[in-house]
């Protein structure tokens, strides 16, 4: 699985990028079957929503996964980048399980 991290209006350290990639790679066990057909592409976009919030920062995480015949997408807003990534990972996991149920398990 190829993971591309796109950052907008934020700066992440190398350790933060590695931990984000590690969290997202934990979803690989759900998509092993689709990876056999070819390399999967996963795009992660991390950003601050805007500079005008009065109290604290609002972070945005979006993941786009390109599967055979389908593109899965999940997004999540939160007060820290780590919790935004955790939220988007959970949403993407649900999308993958739904896709797998519709396209793989029904064919059996």
pLDDT tens series, the chain, 108 aa: 889 999 998 888 899 999 999 999 999 888 887 777 677 889 999 998 776 666 666 899 999 998 877 899 999 998 889 999 999 999 999 999 998 888 766 655
Name, in order, each residue with C-beta under 8 angstroms of 57's C-beta and a sequence gap of 6 or more.
Answer: 48, 79
Residue 98: domain span? 2-105
Name the domain count of the chain: 1
CATH number (domain holding residue 32): 3.30.160.100
CA 17 from centroid of its chain's CA atoms: 13
């Amino acid at each position: 699985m190829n993971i591309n991290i796109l950052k907008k209006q934020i700066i992440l350290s190398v350790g933060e990028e590695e931990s984000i990639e590690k969290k997202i790679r934990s979803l690989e066990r759900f998509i092993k079957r689709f990876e056999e057909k070819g390399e999967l592409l996963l795009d992660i976009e991390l950003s601050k929503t805007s500079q005008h919030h009065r109290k604290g920062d609002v972070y945005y995480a979006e993941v786009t996964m390109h599967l055979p015949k389908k593109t899965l997408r999940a997004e999540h807003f939160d007060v820290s980048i780590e919790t935004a990534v955790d939220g988007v990972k959970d949403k993407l996991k649900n999308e993958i399980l739904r896709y797998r149920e519709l396209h793989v398990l029904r064919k059996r």
